[in-house]
Amino acid sequence: MAEVIEQRPGLSVPARRVPLRPPVAPDEAAARRSLREQVAKLESELGALFCTAFPRTGFDWKVPSRGGPRVLSLVELEELRDELADRLEHNRRVLGDRTYVEELNRCRIEEMMLEPERHRWMVIRNEDIGEPGCKSWHVRPRFGLLGMLLNWWRVRISSGCPLAGGRGRRP
Amino acid sequence: MAHDLAAEFPELRMLHTLVEARPGRSPDPVRRRLRNLADRYTGGKAVTLRQQPVPWAYRVFFRQVGIDPDEHRTPVEAIALERMRAGGFPSRNLVDDALLIATVETSVPLVAFDDEKLEGPLGLRLSQPDERLGGDGRPLSSRQVVIADAERSVGVLFADLAEGRGVHPSTRRMRLASVQVKGVPDVSVEEALWIVAEVLQGEPGEAPGAAGDAP
């Protein structure tokens, strides 16, 4: 009973104050070092993705600059890391979608070669399968109008890009 | 190297060396060398440049100091892009050609100063509040990384030089400087300085000893 009386409000010893700030300052240098390493890793992965995606176009590789060269604050480093990660993820997704469509186009080329009459006038270019150059597969009628009437179709494969200087003079 | 900058980038170094040479038109051997270099530079090499260790190290450093390397290219990538656009490395003058050859060979960026316009050793530091480039040039942003001599800033790292500090036709002695970042081996930076000195002096020989803020 005596102990209960002592713990009543107003009778007990005042509680100790807990300091709001931690006694040790946070090590910002370690956090900055870690962020710089993450930036380096992300840059490495972006570089690899860039080389994988080449020669496809339509990707955005830019991450806005921060008025450098200067020492970035911790917040700026975090923002940079996040933007690099977002850019990497976005471009990976775009490349994934693009390669899926390219694979479908490759399958379609095989089908065109096997049954050209079922893919009349269809054209698939090198860029549609993620390859450099100007080659194309074009389903056209054999012998022109006659082929159209008789349902004679074939795949015509172009010979590539035109020469920069033309064919040159005739021998 | 200033203490605050060294604390942030412990492996950042600036190496420099003195070369007695006069700027002017590039001689035929240098032009030939540029042509040979251009012939060796293919589109595939330019595309995969960012995956090679030294160009990648500079790309990372650009990111870490707030520069987008796809907007403001690293020196070696800018050269590669220009090679693809122009179809070669056209000769401009002996100093620019020498710097270009060294950068293409080693991927290390270099800059040349007129030694008579510098006071004391070169180094890297952060800009002071209200500081101007070269003492009386354009205002610098706060905590910008600058190349500085003992008295004032003489250039912004990987950007513009202060007016009058670069090499000009009457220059007789040049201070060549190179920046080493994390991931770039010592031998690449030393080789870059060696190549510039060799091209400027006109014949292969012993390169001047590199000085710097190395420990």
Confidence of residue B207 (pLDDT cuts 50, 70, 90): very low
Note the pLDDT tens digit of each residue in B161-175: 999 899 999 999 999
Return the percentage of chain B with pLDDT > 90, whole number: 79
Say if residue A7's pLDDT is above 60: no
Residue B14 backbone dihedrals phi, psi, to 5 degrees: -120, 125
Is the model more confident about B183 or about A12?
B183
The stretches of B131-185 forming alpha helices (DSSP H) are: none
Say if residue A171's pLDDT is above 80: no
- Give residue B143's pLDDT: 87
CB contact under 8 A, A68 and B66: yes
**Helix-, strand-, coil-residue percentages of chain A, each rounded to 5:** 50, 10, 40
Can you tell me the mean pLDDT for B124-145?
91
Say if residue A72's pLDDT is above 70: yes
In chain B, the residue whose alpha carbon lies closest to the alpha carbon of A64 is B68
- Please give the model's pTM, rounded to 2 decimal places: 0.82
Can you tell me the mean pLDDT for B184-189?
96
B24: Cβ contacts below 8 Å, ≥ 6 apart: B93, B94, B169
Q: Which chain A residues are within 8 Å of B156, Cβ to Cβ?
A: 69
Nearest to A119 by CA among A131, A110, A128, A130: A110
**How far is Cα B39 from Cα A40, in angstroms, rounded to an integer?**
32
The b-or-e profile of A82-106 (16+ CB within 10 A means b, else e) is: ebbbebbeebeebbeeeeeebeebe
CB contact under 8 A, B66 and A62: no
Nearest to B126 by CA among A34, A33, A68, A74: A68
Is the model more confident about B214 or about A34?
A34
DSSP bridge pairs for A153: A141
* Predicted ipTM of the assembly: 0.86
Burial class (CB in 10 A: 0-12, 13-18, 19+), B35: middle
Q: Which chain B residues are within 8 Å of A72, Cβ to Cβ?
A: 64-66
A72 interfaces chain B, CB cutoff of 8 Å: yes
Can you tell me the mean pLDDT for B144-148?
94
- What are the distances in angstroms from CA B207 to CA B1, B93, B211? 24, 21, 12
Say if residue A137's pLDDT is above 90: yes
**CA torsion, ordered A50, A51, A53, A58, to nearest 10 deg:** 50
Is the model more confident about A12 or about A115?
A115
With beta carbons less than 8 A apart as the criterion, state whether B57 and B183 touch: yes
Nearest to A137 by CA among A116, A163, A167, A166: A116
Note the pLDDT tens digit of each residue in A139-157: 999 988 888 898 899 999 9
Can you tell me the mean pLDDT for A69-94?
95
| Identity of the residue numbered B69 | P
Return the percentage of chain A with pLDDT > 90, whole number: 58
Q: Which chain B residues are within 8 Å of A28, Cβ to Cβ?
A: none
DSSP annotation of A118: G
The stretches of B41-182 forming alpha helices (DSSP H) are: 43-47, 53-64, 75-86, 94-106
How many residue pairs bridge chain A and chain B with CB atoms within 8 Å of each other? Answer: 83
DSSP bridge pairs for B179: B14
**How far is Cα B72 from Cα B49, in angstroms, rounded to an integer?**
16
CB contact under 8 A, B56 and A51: no
For strands B173-180 and B13-20, give the pairing: antiparallel
Q: Which chain A residues are within 8 Å of B145, Cβ to Cβ?
A: 68-71
DSSP bridge pairs for B13: B180
Q: How many CB atoms lie within 10 A of CB A45?
A: 15
